[in-house]
Amino acid sequence: MLEAARRVDPAPFPAKEVRKVASGGSTITRGGGLVDRYANALYSLAGDTHALDRTVDEVQALGRLIDESADLRRLLGSPLVDVREALAALRAVLEDQGFSPLVVRFVCVVASNRRLVRLRAIVSAFAALVAEKRGVVAAEVTTAHPLSVVQREALRARLIEAGYGQVNIEEHVDTSLLGGLTLRIGARLFDSSIKSSLQRLQYAMKGAA
């Protein structure tokens, strides 16, 4: 798999970091699962190369790109896409969007290891790791449509009012929600989506039948 990545990428993600990810030997500060290992490997390398702030911004942008592009989500979720084709397509998209070589090469490693289906989860794990390191509360909000600037700032204001001083909002889009939102802060889940409301109504109707 690494040879395939090297053939496509003349300057691949450092091999020692790839070995850490593959073996699970990286330093784990969170749950220790696969997505956490990838997130930790990227965090460590970004710190070692003094590129952490830029990498944080770019990984956030990568998450938004995945959420807003149905074509990209299909590419990441399809088990039928050839690895080399996926590598070429992702490289073209990310370089066109101005992502740094570090992030581009990292995504290529994820692709070469056939973990693209977990890329969005890796992005979320990276955001949570950054928040943990910086003492910031990570709030995952999922909506049927991308939040507008006004909606995002209104949500941030409500969270501050609720006592969450420093909040990093991680946004996800799930069209199946139909409307409303779900908000997860740690183990707490707040669900005001139309989908959830309809499900509760359906259960209530079944109980009354």
Place of tokens 């507008």: 148
Residues 15 and 97 in one domain: yes
The number of distinct structural domains making up the chain is 2
77 with 19, same domain?
yes
CATH number of domain containing 39? 1.10.520.20
> Is it the case that residue 53 has pLDDT exceeding 60?
yes
User: What is the structure's pLDDT at 96?
Assistant: 92
Please tell me which residue, 65 or 136, carries the higher pLDDT value: 65
Does pLDDT of 66 surpass 80?
A: yes
Asked if 93 contacts 72 with a C-beta cutoff of 8 angstroms, the reply is: yes
Tell me which residue of 190, 187, 97 sits closest to 143, measured CA to CA.
Answer: 190
**pLDDT on residue 160:** 80
Domain boundary residue, one of 116, 131, 146? 131
CA-to-CA distance for 172 and 63, rounded, in angstroms? 8
Share of residues in the chain with pLDDT > 90 (%): 25
In this prediction, residues 48-53 reach a mean pLDDT of 92
Residues 115 and 170 in one domain: no
Question: Same structural domain for residues 119 and 152?
Answer: no
Q: Dump pLDDT digits (tens) for 6-41.
A: 333 333 445 454 444 444 443 334 445 889 999 999
Whether residue 25 is found in the same domain as residue 60 = yes
Same domain, 89 and 15: yes
Domain boundary among 113, 131, 149: 131
Q: Is 126 in the same domain as 164?
A: no
What does residue 185 show for φ and ψ, rounded to 5 degrees? -125, 105
Q: Examine the domain organization and report whether 11 and 95 are in the same domain.
A: yes
Please state the rounded mean pLDDT for residues 135-159. 85
121 and 51 co-located in one domain: yes
Domain span at residue 182 reads: 136-208
17 plus 39 within the same structural domain: yes
Whether the pLDDT of residue 5 is over 80: the answer is no
Average pLDDT value for residue range 98-126:
92
Q: How many CB atoms lie within 10 A of CB 198?
A: 11
Same domain, 124 and 140: no
If DSSP codes are grouped into helix, strand and coil, which group holds residue 155?
helix
Distance from the first to the final alpha carbon of the chain: 56
Query: pLDDT at residue 58 above 90?
Result: yes
204 and 143 within one domain: yes
Examine the fold and report which residue of 88, 104, 131 is the final residue of a domain before the chain moves on.
131
| pLDDT single digits (tens) 89-109 | 899 999 999 999 999 999 999
